Amino acid sequence: MRHANAVIVGSGAGGGIVAKELATAGLNVVLLERGKWYSAADCRKDDLRNQRTTILGNAFGPDDEGNPRVLVDERGQERILKPSEGGYNNNAACVGGGTFSYGAQAWRYMEKDFRMRSAYGAPTNSTLEDWPISYQDLEPYYEKAEIEVGVSGDVEPNIFKAPRRRPLPMPAFPPNREHQILHPAAKRLGLHPFDIPMFRNTVPYNERGACMRCRWCVGFACEVNARSGSHNTVIPKALATGNCDLRTECVAKEVVVDAKGRARGVIYFDARGKLVEQSADLVIVSCAAIESARLLLNSKSALFPRGLGNRYDWVGRNLQGHTYTGAVGLLEEETYDDIGPGAQIAICDYNHGNAGLAGGAMLANEFIRLPIQFIGQVPNFVPKWGKGHKDWVRRAYRRTVMVQGPVQEMPMFDSRVQVDPQVRDRWGIPVARMSGARHPHSMEIARFIAGKAEAWLREAGAIQVWKKIPGAGLSGGQHQAGTCRMGNDPKTSVVNRFCQLHDVDNAYVIDGSVHVTNGGFNPALTIMAIAYYASDNLLRAWKGTRVRS
């Protein structure tokens, strides 16, 4: 097989951008993706089988057959889980990764999100830490991601936002009904509402049309290709250079090293199940926090007996996601207007500056809800079945508003990914074994944020409000992050400030794994900004067939 300059494992928010940047610079790139390449035509509008509602399976992978994970709960009970089951902490397995079917909120983190330890001090039993890079280091790359992938919205009224040089490239949608209800209510409370930044065309952009505002949005393929991810932006650009070879349904087994401990390439199972090795000058791991950690931990050799980059036992540690918390309100008036994507309005008043709390969360109204999703939101005080339940659903479906936000979590050393000693996937590769819990302080922040969501809904006219606060079990989910922490000290982190493994200068981790903390925001734009930033630094150091150490 032809030698490559770079082999990238994973084509999501991180890997897709790295592929485009390296291929554009003239490097010969192989992009491995374990899943398939779906398109707009794969919008099946199946309420029971999509990437958000997985009752009958995941629409965009992984398949339920042959892709187990092991979850160890707080009491030490082990469960083997299928990808469509809760607790699996799935992210899609397809070209584009999570960005193919996500809700597509495009947030910049705030300046304080990069120096959480300095701002608040680490709570007991937390590995809360500062990033080795600052918001200012990433700002130009945030801007690049907003322009190249394409972000709409209006963040100007957000007085809490970090400094930015340019406005978003596309305007916000006209307000939907929930926006019209929540905006004046927030103003009356002295808050600072604005239009959510989103990877979604509100006007024609990047040679694709505008959103038609349908009901089947988050979790589905975008039927009109107006929502943007790596699959319809950077990956086509990478392929157009002629320098990028995208290989789908290829499952990486391990990163292999040479006698000197430098990465030699990736061994993977191709689409026909044949085990092959792709040699490369550079290896870039971009599989998202759980699978990236698993791949490194499965890459054992004489020089790295505990897994690649794992000399100090930090690979797989600090698994975090977001503690999604908020409230649902029942109003007298109709709130449902059947206009997607639904989520449109947010506030950042409670991301920081909450007395006694180490951070907080952005709060936004929720995406448009399909009936089956609404059933999952029916509160406890409603009868579980019978006419009482049906009556309530009929009355409330078009009269509720949900406000929630992703609480920034306190990382924990023991919330982690390992490889399971027994369970293997259909290719015989040891699977991810996840264990740990949320930090009590994350839960404390969650309760505070839910109270703020409730207050906003009451001001908006809700006659009844019920809070939504998750349990204290392990976090991760689509927003999974933290397992290959970025840091200056090789003893307490996995990669350096350029996403390079401390131990192996030609191996990189470029995805949410490197996040030291995960912000009180959806992480996709930050993953993309880091991918642009890391690619830029990699290319500066690139000397023909290797990087200058």
**List of residues contacting other proteins (CB under 8 A):** 45-49, 55-57, 173-177, 210-215, 337-339, 371-372, 374-375, 384-387, 389-391, 393-394, 397-398
Nearer CB in complex with other proteins: 186/370:
370
Question: Cα–Cα distances in Å, from 23 out to 20, 148, 477, 495?
Answer: 5, 15, 30, 23
> Rounded to the nearest whole angstrom, what is the least distance from the CB of residue 101 to other proteins in the complex?
16
CB 264 within 8 A of CB 256: yes
Q: How far is the CB of 468 from other proteins (least distance, A)?
A: 18
Instruction: Tell me the closest approach of the beta carbon of residue 54 to other proteins, in angstroms.
Output: 10
**Is the CB of 240 or the CB of 372 nearer to other proteins?**
372
3-state secondary structure at position 400 = strand
> Taking the complex as a whole, how short is the minimal distance between the CB of residue 88 and other proteins, in angstroms?
15
Residues 6+ apart with CB under 8 A from 119: 112, 352, 358
| Nearest distance from C-beta of residue 536 to other proteins, angstroms | 37
Residue 138 carries which DSSP code?
H
Minimum distance from residue 70 beta carbon to other proteins (Å): 18
Nearer Cβ to other proteins, position 223 or 277?
Answer: 223
Report DSSP state, residue 200. B
- Please list, residue by residue across 442-481, b when 16 or more beta carbons sit within 10 angstroms of its beta carbon and e when fewer do: bbbbbebbbebbbbbbbbbebeebbbbbbeeebbbbbbbb
Distances (CA, A) of 306 to 265, 293, 483: 18, 12, 15
**Residue whose CB is less far from other proteins, 214 or 509:** 214
Q: How far is the CB of 175 from other proteins (least distance, A)?
A: 7
Q: Which of 442, 534, 519, 454 is nearest to 482 (CA)?
A: 519
Q: Which is nearer to other proteins, 267 or 393 (CB)?
A: 393
The smaller minimum CB distance to other proteins, of residues 120 and 173, is found at 173
Q: Which residue has the tokens 């100007």?
A: 156
Sign of CA dihedral 449, 452, 458, 461: negative
Contact 352, 202 (CB under 8 A): no
Residue (44 or 306) nearer to other proteins, CB: 44
